[in-house]
Structure 1
Amino acid sequence: MKLFKYLVLAFVVCAVLLAIGLGSKVWRWSNNPVPMTEPVVEFNVPKGSTIRSVAESLVRAGLDIEPQLFILYARYTGQDKLLKAGAYEVRQGMTPVDILTRLEKGDMIQRQIALIEGWTYKQIRQALKNNKDITQTLDDTSDEALLKKLGASETHLEGLFFPETYVFVPGDSDFEILRRAYLESQKRLMQAWEERDPDLPLKTPYEALILASIVEKETGHSKDRDRVSGVFINRLKVNMPLQTDPTVIYGMGDNYKGNISKKDLQTDTPWNTYTRSGLPPTPISSPGYLSLLAAVQPEKHKFYYFVARGDGTSEFAENLQKHNQNVRKFILKKGN
């Protein structure tokens, strides 16, 4: 009987010592940096991943995490059921606890893409297509289908996406970024429209967006923005053609090779503001917020003309005679 008690006691002592030893090993393992072959390692957790598949992904990525311990520890803490799908990175110095915490919180890799003020829709789509971290879902989607998918009431995509730097997670779709840019554009446009001057010859927010897109393309220096807008507002009030080259260039599409000729100015398109009065039917670019504000809060003056000085600023004139003098001074002289 005594022998049995001694055996039981010995077994218990061994079990306790084993548990202490194992616990000590697990504690050291869980709180020590994971050996890595690179300073930063990225890995992906697809939807529906198990803790075992995550452990295998980490090993394939070059992390010596002791996968069985990783799995057991995650199951013990319950974190195996809290994994968030997405793209992650592990940096040197991180412990298994750090990695599991990141997976539980969904602390994913973030990327940025900048949509630039004055870009056309074509340029925006190309930037999205060139980004390897963005999933392409719209290659076979028509403009009409995309407008419907966005819930847009407009009939043309140009100018509908606000130029901004957007943060995204690798794997996000091109549509998701466009959707965010569209909603941001609608919000900013309505903010500007609510602050519009009362005597504008603009009937709708969309007309303000069209004018803002022209101001964006015509303004080389931010200080001229409100004044340039004022020129176009003055012309609209007296039904004078806007006569702005960027609209002609937009209407030329792929035929534009870097310069426009007198023939181009005389060739009618829906966007040619030399051959047609009023605003073109759509925006010609994606305007930033300052251009939106300039469109609805233009500088009040008597200018009807302006010409580029060549340094990013513009010279303004109240009549054609003075404008022609400015053209000779800043354009023709420069060409000689």
Structure 2
Amino acid sequence: MSVRRLLLIVLALCLIAVLVVAATLLTVRQYLDSPLSLPDDAVVVDIEPGMPLQLIASRLADNGYLSWPRAMVLWARWQGFDRRIRSGEYALEAGQTPRTLMALLMSGRVVQYPVTFVEGWTVRQALEHLWRLDNINPQLQGMSNDDIHSALQISLPALEGSLFPDTYFYTKGTSDVAILQRANQRLQQVLTEEWQQRADGLPYESPWQALIMASIIERESGYKAEKRDIAGVFVRRLQSGMRLQSDPTVIYGMGSSYDGVIYRSDLNTTTAYNTYRINGLPPTPIALAGRDSIHASMQPKKGTALYFVSRGDGSHQFSDTLEQHNSAVQRYLRGGAENENN
């Protein structure tokens, strides 16, 4: 075989090799930008700490999501992406490609789960709701409120009312401690902000007392437009030496014995929370107070009303005198309900 012929063969083989490599690279590139075989609903994959890319790709392939796992693994290793994967749960959505999948796994944008603490809940209701959720690490479950208060290192005097009602987001494995501390920090922030802007002459010795008032307002009405009116009534009662006579405080003091109805005997039973029997504020909040109620406690509406009664539609009728209040009770409650006698 001549040298010329040998060179032609070598050149031909090199050309074929180049074409094969080019075709392979083009195929890989097209694959990297092709959608994964995902269902319409988002798929959540859990990447454990230290999990190798080879295992991740293998599991995705086993589930039918990834058709050419080796191509993605080799490309990612060549780019150095395999060393930058972050652990956690990731949501894969329709339209995701191997290229965007790797970007997601390196981003740390893990699945966030919501937990909502509702305005007006007791702290025990909030805790029970939290512990029913998936993916929570319950470190405090089974503990008393006092022990939880200590474990969270809350600076306020009691656990009740010390969480801000809002929606919080967490990742898989987050502890209840972490979520509750965030809710307490948010409460402290809002309480401090409102306290710094409070009206003059309020009958509170501390932000804690204002929070107690806010919790009563929260339980008295969910109607935002009249929270400051209710706050005004209670502030004027405190300033004039009257008792608050708030039914929600009676209910809270009754605990599990409350069956949905307040009887005259309940109003006459002395508890630390029965504001028909005690002077001033109860010792702790009775519920989680939202910002509107906290604001209302710090900025009560000026006026002369000392009484209010439910109209039955969520709003209240306010009265200056007991005579006017009794007439309103007859009008809206038809003289039947003792559990609205504010």
Q: TM-score, normalised by structure 1?
A: 0.92
- Corresponding position of 1:319: 321
Deviation at 1:13, TM superposition (A): 3.1
1:306 counterpart SS class: strand
Residue aligning to 1:109? 111
Q: Does 1:270 align with 2:254?
A: no
Q: Report deviation, 1:133.
A: 4.1
What secondary structure does 1:326 align onto?
helix
Identity of aligned residues (%): 36
Tell me the residue number matched to 1:80. 82
Structure 2 residue identity aligned to 1:86? G
Q: Which amino acid aligns with 1:126?
A: E
1:170-228 Cα distance to aligned partner (Å, 9 max, x none) = 44333222222111111011111011012001011111110000001111422211111
1:249 maps to: 251
**Corresponding residue for residue 28 of structure 1:** 30
**Which consecutive residues of structure 2, in runs of 5 or more, have no partner in the other structure?**
338-342
Please say which of residues 27-36 and 13-22 is displaced more in the overlay. 13-22
2:340 match:
none
- Contact kept, 8 Å, 1:212 with 1:287, in 2: the verdict is yes
Q: 1:61 to 1:124 in 2, by over 3 A?
A: farther
Offset of 1:229 from its aligned partner?
Answer: 0.5
Check if 1:207 corresponds to 2:209.
yes
Distance in 1 between residues matched to 2:319 and 2:238, nearest whole Å: 16
For structure 1, which segment, 205-214 or 263-272, has the greater mean C-alpha deviation from structure 2 after superposition?
A: 263-272
Instruction: Tell me the distance in 2 between the aligned counterparts of 1:305 and 1:20.
Output: 85
- 1:55-99 per-residue CA deviation (whole Å, 9 max, x = no partner) reads 233234441242222221221121111112111111222110011
1:69 equivalent in structure 2: 71
RMSD: 2.1
| Displacement of 1:117 | 1.2
Tell me the SS of whatever aligns to 2:56: helix
Of 138, 145, 148, 1:146 maps to 148
Correspondence 1:188-227 to 2 at 5 A: 188-227=190-229
Whole-Å separation in 2 of the counterparts to 1:279 and 1:18: 84
Unpaired segments ≥5 residues, structure 1: none
1:24-44 deviation line (CA, Å, top 9, x unaligned): 221111011112355431111
Deviation of the 1:145 alpha carbon: 4.0
1:118-139 CA-to-partner distances (Å, cap 9, x unmatched) read 1111221122123224333321
The question of whether the paired residues in 2 share the 8 Å contact of 1:144 and 1:155 is answered with no
Give the AA of the match of 1:169. Answer: T
CA contact (8 A) 1:83 1:103 kept: yes
Whole-angstrom distance in 2 between the partners of 1:289 and 1:135? 28
Q: Deviations over 1:282-314 (max 9, x none)?
A: 101111111111101101122221111111111
**Structure 1 residues 97, 313: CA separation in 2 closer, same or farther (over 3 Å shift)?**
same
